[in-house]
């Protein structure tokens, strides 16, 4: 369990919540579902009942070995060990109870990946960043997420539904893909936010570009930040 805590992973132990997640994913037999975090397998067999194929991956080889034994009779399940963000599998639907330590990395990876939609569970603190309405509460990941996805909050999940219990509650989100963002755009948005106290004019100087705008990042809309990103990347 020490390894799981290090990864920021907490196992969902509520069957009703697991069934709700699978239901909200709107899976058909035409879908390939990609699940990061097999864990103890509470979601995996439910996904297999609905999907044409399920690819489930976990960084913990022991958990994958246990799942292979537990689900040996499921024909449409592919189990893998390793880092899901380094895999190249094609899929249509993404489902995961994201480890808090990998939540930002996963959203950035999904922003670059082609798929239809997904249902994810994240800790409330991270969901608040993704759904931030106030420009002063936005982070780089807020801009990346809202440009790449339409995000809907489905429900809150109390910490008592996990083992071991996390320190804060979680939130189930539905994400529908709008746009693919490339790696350069994502890196540049992150870089822009590292200069968020500077004016746009001074930010552009960091990239050998010019502007007369004295606004700060907090006073730009999401689209304006994307336009700024494109200006920086323009050759």
Residue 40 above 70 pLDDT? yes
Shared domain for 103 and 119, answered yes or no, is: yes
Shared domain for 170 and 229, answered yes or no, is: no
What average pLDDT does the chain have? 92
Shared domain for 166 and 190, answered yes or no, is: no
Shared domain for 33 and 114, answered yes or no, is: yes
Shared domain for 32 and 82, answered yes or no, is: yes
Shared domain for 144 and 215, answered yes or no, is: no
User: What's the Cα-to-Cα distance from 138 to each of 129, 200, 214, 229, rounded to whole Å?
Assistant: 6, 16, 19, 16
Q: What is the pLDDT of residues 204-227, one digit of tens each?
A: 988 888 887 888 888 888 999 999
35: DSSP letter: E
| Domain around 38 | 2-181
pLDDT score of 9: 65
Q: How many domains does the chain have?
A: 2
Shared domain for 35 and 146, answered yes or no, is: yes
Report the DSSP beta bridge partners of residue 117. Answer: 93, 176
User: What's the Cα-to-Cα distance from 27 to each of 35, 51, 102, 119, 192, rounded to whole Å?
Assistant: 13, 6, 25, 11, 37
Shared domain for 46 and 127, answered yes or no, is: yes
Shared domain for 135 and 23, answered yes or no, is: yes
């Amino acid at each position: 369990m020490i390894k799981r805590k290090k990864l920021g992973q907490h196992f969902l132990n509520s069957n009703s919540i697991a069934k709700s997640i699978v239901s909200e994913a709107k899976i058909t037999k035409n879908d390939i579902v990609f699940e990061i975090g097999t864990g103890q397998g509470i979601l995996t067999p439910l996904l297999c009942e609905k999907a044409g194929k399920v690819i489930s991956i976990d960084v913990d080889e022991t958990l994958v070995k246990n799942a292979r034994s537990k689900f040996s009779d499921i024909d449409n399940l592919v189990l893998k060990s390793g880092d899901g963000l380094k895999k190249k599998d094609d899929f249509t639907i993404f489902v995961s109870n994201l480890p808090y330590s990998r939540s930002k990395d996963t959203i950035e990876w999904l922003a670059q990946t082609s798929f239809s939609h997904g249902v994810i569970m994240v800790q409330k603190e991270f969901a608040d960043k993704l759904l931030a309405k106030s420009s002063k509460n936005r982070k780089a990941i807020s801009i990346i997420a809202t440009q790449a996805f339409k995000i809907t909050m489905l429900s809150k999940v109390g910490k008592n539904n996990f083992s071991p219990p996390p320190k804060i509650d979680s939130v189930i989100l539905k994400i529908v893909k709008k746009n693919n963002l490339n790696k350069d755009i994502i890196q540049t948005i992150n870089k822009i936010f590292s200069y968020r106290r500077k004016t746009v004019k001074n930010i552009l100087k960091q990239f050998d570009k010019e502007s007369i705008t004295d606004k700060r990042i907090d006073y730009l809309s999401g689209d304006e930040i994307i336009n700024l990103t494109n200006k920086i990347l323009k050759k």
